[in-house]
Amino acid sequence: MIANTIRTCFPIAAKAVADKAEEINKLNVFPVPDGDTGTNMSLTLASVVKEVAELPADADIEAIAAAITHGSLMGARGNSGVITSQILRGVAEGLISASNPVSTADIAVALRNAVKVAFQAVRKPVEGTILTVLRDISTKADECAKKKMTPADALDAIVVEAYQSVARTPDLLPVLKENGVVDSGAFGFAIFVENFVSAALGRTSNIEGFSATFDADASSAKENALGRVEIEANDDWEGSEFRYCNEFLFKAEKKFDEEKCLKFLASMGDCELLVGAYPDYKVHVHSNTPDKILAHMLKYGQVYEVFIHNMDMESHERTAKIKADQAAAAEPAKPLGFVAVAAGSGQAEILKSLGVDMIVSGGQTMNPSTADLLAAVDQVNAESVIILPNNGNIRMAAEAAASACENKHVAVVPTKTVPQAFSALFTVVPDASLDEVVETMTEAVSEVRDGEVTTAVRDSSASDGSPIHAGDVMGIISGSIDIVGSDVAQVTVDCINRMQDEEEGDTLTILAGADMSDDDFEDLLSAIEEAQPDLEIDSHRGEQPLYPVIFSIE
């Protein structure tokens, strides 16, 4: 029962943190402006999701607790990620001896163990951080157990306490109050707790979902916390004297004095953490001398998965991003905006030049989710937004995002390729209504004949039944595999010739993929000009993966 609940609920809660990662990042002001708390927490949680998913279906709570402990340790990123890993370890270990079904007393024991483990990992705990929220919800769980509250009521009370504790963080940590924010790690932790509880109580059934529905007290606590999430741009940091955030995994080859090692790390910087158990550890420290940190640890074993971040650079990037967001938010909403999916940097640049406001990375084999598209729509400062999915497999997600958006009018123009989007965008009349623009763009899409060239990854057959072998080059015309060969350039020319024979067009738009060199692209263009001298060619670097050539004819 406990094992199944964790396997079901953990991915949902982890997804919620990942969806809010950028918002959490912008809050990060302590101990230095290394604005990556949301990213670090989401990566740590993702590592746990992966490790738990690899367990057999009948894995018991002991196996799951071990996977949580190991996965979070191996995947922990940054100070916030390492602390999160210790919280997860403490809760998981505390649930091993829990009854079935879990009682309120079991919940209290697990959180109490998490407090013990997490506080032991941090040499200098600071009030007003994720540790404070952990301690507060543990205290609340103890109160619920003494009152003999049901587990469901206790979990709801814990969520209320989590957000109330987050709202109190500025009163406990001056740097938060000075900058008008709540603690980023605490906020991320509360999001995780809320969504785990929501899923555990059956209030979240869709992994795309994020919002939980709690009683009035919980909603009020959450609104109070969110009301204090006021992000500001700050350039006047006194901050940490240490520039580099150093983190790495460490495998000890012999026993060593952990306390002595921690003292050495403290002498080299701050925010020092050494967590794990012989022989596997995670090391984190802020220092100006990464070389000395690594050299010292190499005396006792091997280091791997080394990450060194320049926090000064991160802080300036964060400030610039926040200022840009604030400037954009200050502008009045324009009548119409666009969101488009693109699979390569070249595609994205062209789409932006044609008026697309937000690019969502994706395409064949990497379809963005409804949540990804909805998040992009939310960032467009426009009254109405049109989504261009640019792939048949993404259309349903785009339509779901359009239906889910409540604060804007959203429509989908069902583009299947990026060249179709190019043609559709050229038809936009700024003063036209949303319905008129959608109708005109859709008509433009219907007049575009498209093709793409790629390599077969398995044996199959072409539209005429002829065999296709893995490694063959395929020419796909309007979704049908019509040409098969061994040379990308020849297959492309053959596709264009066939399309011109069927219906002569005037203009060819062609995009080179990431795997096609400039020289090969020039040779291809020359071959096309020779084969179709009357066809006007508009060529670009699309940089899309997997498809060395994408093109359309109008």
Structure tokens at 196: 């785990």
CATH 3.30.1180.20 domain span(s) along the chain: 449-553
Following DSSP, what letter does each residue of 361-408 receive, concatenated?
E-BTTBPPPHHHHHHHHHHS-EEEEEEE--SGGGHHHHHHHHHH-SSS
pLDDT at 208: 34
pLDDT at 369: 83
CA atoms within 13 A on the CB side of 264: 17
- Hey, what amino acid is at 487? D
Q: Answer for the pair 481, 492: CB distance below 8 angstroms, yes or no.
A: no
Q: Name the E strands within 143-260.
A: 244-252
Structure tokens at 60: 């018991």
DSSP class of 533: T
469-524: per-residue pLDDT in tens?
989 999 999 889 999 999 999 999 999 999 999 999 999 999 999 989 999 999 99
Helix/strand/coil for 360: strand
CATH 3.30.70 domain span(s) along the chain: 244-314
CATH 1.25.40.340 domain span(s) along the chain: 2-226
pLDDT at 553: 95
Distances in Å between the Cα of 9 and the Cα atoms of 13, 15, 253 are 6, 10, 37
Angle 231-233-234 (CA atoms, 0-180°, nearest 5)? 120
pLDDT at 219: 54
Instruction: For the domain covering 244-314, report its CATH number.
Output: 3.30.70
CATH 3.40.50.510 domain span(s) along the chain: 332-446
Give me the CATH topology for the region 2-226.
1.25.40
Q: Answer for the pair 550, 513: CB distance below 8 angstroms, yes or no.
A: yes
Backbone angles phi, psi at 400, to 5 degrees: -65, -40
pTM value is 0.54
* Domain 449-553 listed as CATH 3.40.640.10: no
CA distance 152 to 103: 9
Angle 362-336-442 (CA atoms, 0-180°, nearest 5)? 65
Mean pLDDT (10-residue bins), the chain, 554 residues: 88 89 67 60 91 92 93 83 90 91 94 93 80 94 95 92 86 64 82 91 49 47 54 44 88 90 90 86 91 93 90 75 70 92 92 95 78 90 95 90 90 94 94 94 94 89 89 92 95 96 94 94 96 95 93 94
Structure tokens at 481: 């595999």
Burial code (b: 16+ CB inside 10 Å, e: under 16) for 426-445 equals ebbeeeeebeebbebbbebb
pLDDT at 212: 38
Instruction: For the domain covering 332-446, report its CATH number.
Output: 3.40.50.510
